[in-house]
Chain A
Amino acid sequence: MKPDVAQVLADLAGRVARNAAPQIPPAQRAGELGLSAMLLGLAAEMWDGAAEILVQENAALRALLASGARVSQDNARRRWLVELAGSRDGSLRLSALQNANAELRVALIALHAELERRDDAEARSLEADIWRELVAGAERRRLAGSPI
């Protein structure tokens, strides 16, 4: 999730402190604190599950990329996929998990696009697996107040 929760919380801390000053117009204070409260609520919801979601998603993406390494018809891409599929989450810091997730997603996009251009059963099957994971990932990241 971007912007990072830690960055936003630091910014909100300053904002809340500024709004404690008596000269802030009431309407402005109400608007800023209302928005800040909404973001704090979202942060609270995302924070607890963020690491687990990223670890699960990174594992699922590595499994898809490993399959992609077997199926891809592009030699350079195969080597790239093998390398990424063999990587591990060495740190449970959200920033490290997010960086790894971004790398894996870039590779997934490239693999997905290649499979869409093909018509063989192997490609169709892996493409279906990718869609299943994309749906599962969207479900994992769903917030309680999601409009859909």
Chain B
Amino acid sequence: MPVEKNLPADDSGFLIEQLRQSLGLLRVAFDSTGEAMLIIDESRVVRWANQQAADLWGRGITVTMVGRPYSDLIRFHRLDGSQLMEIEPSHPLQKALTKDGLNCYQVGTQADDDSNDGKTDLIVRMVSWRQIIQMNQRFILLIFRDQDPLEQALAAQRQFINNLAHELRTPLAILKGNLHRIKRKAQPPDQLQQSLSDATAETNRMGSLVDNLLLLSELDTDLRRWNMKNGELKTFVERWACNLNLEFKKVLRLDSENIAGSCQVQIDQEALCIILDNLLDNSLRFSNTKSSIEITFRETFSSVELKFNDNGPGIQSEENHIAVFERFTRIEEHRDLKHTDGAGLGLTLVKSLMEGLGGTALCHSIHDSSNSSQQGFSVTLQFPKI
């Protein structure tokens, strides 16, 4: 039996008074914090705001923000100042659909746009997002705060890497062009020919390292321009596969009959191609025997899974299944003089791109002690269903 029914009228009045006091205390606490807070409902309307948020975007009065579309009050921008559209996967409200998180954005005020002839006053804020489900309704809590000194240092470091990678691209391109011209025009002796080939290979490797660093830096800072399209996962993968060289096509088996591949997802085709290229490159590098790669699909409650399985040696240590996704990680058990070491960024890029797409990347190894031919490495990519 509900407690309220047993309460004398005086006690229930006291309880209500106590609840009111608690509510008031909470309000005082939320208004005293240095963080601006907004709760946004499923229709993207502001349901709740604290005093900091009102001071920044509501002319000081919280109640004037409630009931208004959040986009009437604030806009999210990347750190380079370009506006983030709500459909983009880097947008906090898109990210909040899959998991809680935190990132740095520039936040602009809609009202300022109107009053400054289109010029927006942008403020840099760390923004965290969290999905709340209350009484069958979904809300998103957004918390805005200043960057702490460590975050400022990290942002400066990322900016430095970004600038450096950009600056290295031009001299590398000149170097590549010159090496190509020398190889084509001059007739160097064999020994010099080998040196030229080595120099070209190393320049290419450095070029791809710089490209990967730049892409990672764009992903870290949410500067990547996503070109999201809706479609069947299988179709996106087939588009990637049909552009492969014949020798790669021969080792690849695509499970196109599986109905799970027909599930609709939202994907950036270019990002998917980079992901699959990296997985393919990894598989070919580590397969000692004739490579065999299989791509399968599986549908779960909220996502579509793509499994990329090869017949490579896999990884023995459980810890390394997490470590392979970290930057510049090369697994000791894979060190082999026959292989050229990669930079250790391939799987990092796969993970970062998948996170950027709102998905996840995990890996495991297949080991069958009774059958030595039953081995392999499997990467599972999970894409959210739409």
Q: Report if A and B associate in a common complex.
A: no
| Chain B residues close to A by CB (< 8 Å) | none
| Chain A residues close to B by CB (< 8 Å) | none
